[in-house]
Chain A
Amino acid sequence: MTAVLPAKRPVRPGTRDVSVQIRPVVRAGLGVLLVLWILAPLLPVVLWSVAGVWRAPAVTPDTYSVNAFASLGERATLRAGLASLGLGVAVAVVATPLGFLGALAAQSLPGRRGRAVDLILLAPLAIPPFALVLGANTTLLRLHVPAFAGVVLILVVTALPYTAFMYRSALAAYENQFEDVARTLGAHPRQVIRHVRVPLLATATARGFFLAFLVGWGDYVATLLVGGGQLTTLPMLLGAAASSTGNEQLTAVLSLSVIIPPVIILAAFGIPALTRKAVA
Chain B
Amino acid sequence: MGGSVASVARRGQVMEVDFALVGHQDSWRAAADVLAVLRGPERTPLPDDEIKDILPWIPPRAVCHVEAGSIAGVKARGLYIDSFIPPDRLEAAYMHENIARVRGAAAYAIKAGAKIVSLGGFSSILIEGNFDQLPERHDTAFTTGNTLTVGFIVQGIKKMCALEGRNIRRSTLLIVGATGDVGSGCARCLAPIMKRVLLSARNVERLRRLAAELQADGVQVEIATDVQRFSAEADVVICAASLASPSLLLGRIAPDAIVCDAGYPKNLSPSAEMPGARVFFGGLGQITGGLRFAPDFHGILNRHPFPDVVHGCLLEGMALALEGRFEPFSQGRGYITQERVEKIETIAARHGIYLAPLYNANGPVEEGLYCQRECSRG
Binding between chains A and B: no
